[in-house]
Amino acid sequence: MAKENTQEKLDDVQQPNRRGFVRGAACTISGIAIFVPVAASVPVVLDPVGRKREPGGSSFTRLCKVSDLTTGIPEKFSILEDKTDKWSRYKDAPIGSVYVLKQSEDDPPKLTVFSTICTHLGCSVNYRGHVPDPDFYCPCHNSRFELKTGKPMNNTPPRALDVLNIDSEKLASQGEVWVEYKRFKTNSRDQEDA
Ligand code: FES
């Protein structure tokens, strides 16, 4: 009997402790349940603020040294950019490509940077070095463009290949080619930002 009384007393003492533990655990779990979705939403809310530049925005990208180029032969370069969406970061994701044509041996040389986007409907043009008539050629609907000027060589494309801006200061002072990569609307006579 005395043993039973002792057990009852022990239960009375332990009961509030157990209730306290259960209450504490419930608070912790509900706290996590509220905090996690809120924390996850913070980058989404801040995303437009934190992004380095808006898609379609422009900045200069380093391509090469002038000494890497051969006069008269266009060199193709990919344009890479770190991209971030709501969930992932992509380092050096390709966003386009260009042809750089060194057109003279002057110092600094005359350079032209062409977008590889065909102005007809947006496929990619390829350099064809066949002599005596080298060109940029689009296999989708057979558009041809002059090598030196990018002007159309048949009636398919509505305008010349798009020429991109070069950082002339870096070209003159450092002998480096930096380009301002941009996209323009296709299937239009006029060059308009895409
Ligand atoms: S998209 Fe290039 S020829 Fe049509």
Q: Does residue 127 sit within a domain?
A: yes
Residue 82 banded pLDDT, cuts 50, 70, 90:
confident
Question: What percentage of the chain exceeds 70 in pLDDT?
Answer: 70
Q: Does 140 share its domain with 77?
A: yes
Q: What is the pLDDT of residue 85?
A: 83
- Which residues lie closer than 8 Å to 125 by C-beta, 6 or more apart? 99, 114, 116, 117, 118, 136, 137, 138, 143, 145, 161
Q: Does 39 share its domain with 91?
A: no
Gap from CA of 65 to ligand 1 centroid (Å): 31
Q: Does 80 share its domain with 136?
A: yes
Q: Does residue 191 sit within a domain?
A: no
Q: Does residue 116 sit within a domain?
A: yes
Gap from CA of 120 to ligand 1 centroid (Å): 5
Query: pLDDT per residue over 116-172, tens digit each?
Result: 999 999 999 999 998 889 999 999 999 999 999 999 999 999 999 999 999 999 999
Q: Does 109 share its domain with 25?
A: no
Q: Does an H or E element contain 166, and which?
A: strand 165-166
Q: Does 124 share its domain with 150?
A: yes
CATH number of the domain enclosing 108: 2.102.10.10
pTM: 0.70
Q: What is the mean pLDDT of residues 17-26?
A: 56
**How many structural domains compose the chain?**
2
User: For ligand 1, atom 4, which residue shows the shortest CA distance?
Assistant: 141
Gap from CA of 166 to ligand 1 centroid (Å): 26
Q: Does 96 share its domain with 163?
A: yes
Q: Does 25 share its domain with 77?
A: no
| CA dihedral (139, 145, 150, 154) positive or negative | negative
Q: Is the pLDDT higher at 27 or at 171? A: 171
Q: What is the pLDDT of residue 150?
A: 98
Question: What percentage of the chain exceeds 90 in pLDDT?
Answer: 60
Q: Does 109 share its domain with 128?
A: yes
Q: What is the pLDDT of residue 111?
A: 97
d(CA 53, CA 142): 35
pLDDT at 27 over 70: no
Q: Does 46 share its domain with 86?
A: no
Query: pLDDT per residue over 42-80, tens digit each?
Result: 443 333 333 333 444 548 999 999 999 999 999 999 999
Q: Does 4 share its domain with 41?
A: yes
Three-state secondary structure readout of 27-95 = HHHHHHHHHHHHHHHHHHHHHHHHCCCCCCCCCEEEEEEHHHCECCECEEEEEEEEEECCCCEEEEEEE
User: Quick check: CB of 177 below 6 Å from ligand 1?
Assistant: no
Q: What is the pLDDT of residue 131?
A: 80
Q: Which atom of ligand 1 is nearest to the CA of 142?
A: 3
pLDDT at 83 over 70: yes
Q: Does 151 share its domain with 68?
A: yes
Q: Does residue 193 sit within a domain?
A: no
Q: Does residue 142 sit within a domain?
A: yes
User: What domain range is 126 assigned to?
Assistant: 60-180
Q: Is 72 within 8 Å of 103 (Cβ atoms)? A: yes
Q: Does 43 share its domain with 72?
A: no
Helices first, then strands: H and E counts in the chain: 2, 9
Gap from CA of 162 to ligand 1 centroid (Å): 14
Q: Does residue 35 sit within a domain?
A: yes
Q: Does residue 160 sit within a domain?
A: yes
Q: What is the pLDDT of residue 48?
A: 31
- Rounded to 5 degrees, what are φ and ψ at 138? -110, 120
Mean pLDDT across the chain = 81
Q: Does residue 124 sit within a domain?
A: yes
User: Quick check: CB of 121 below 6 Å from ligand 1?
Assistant: yes
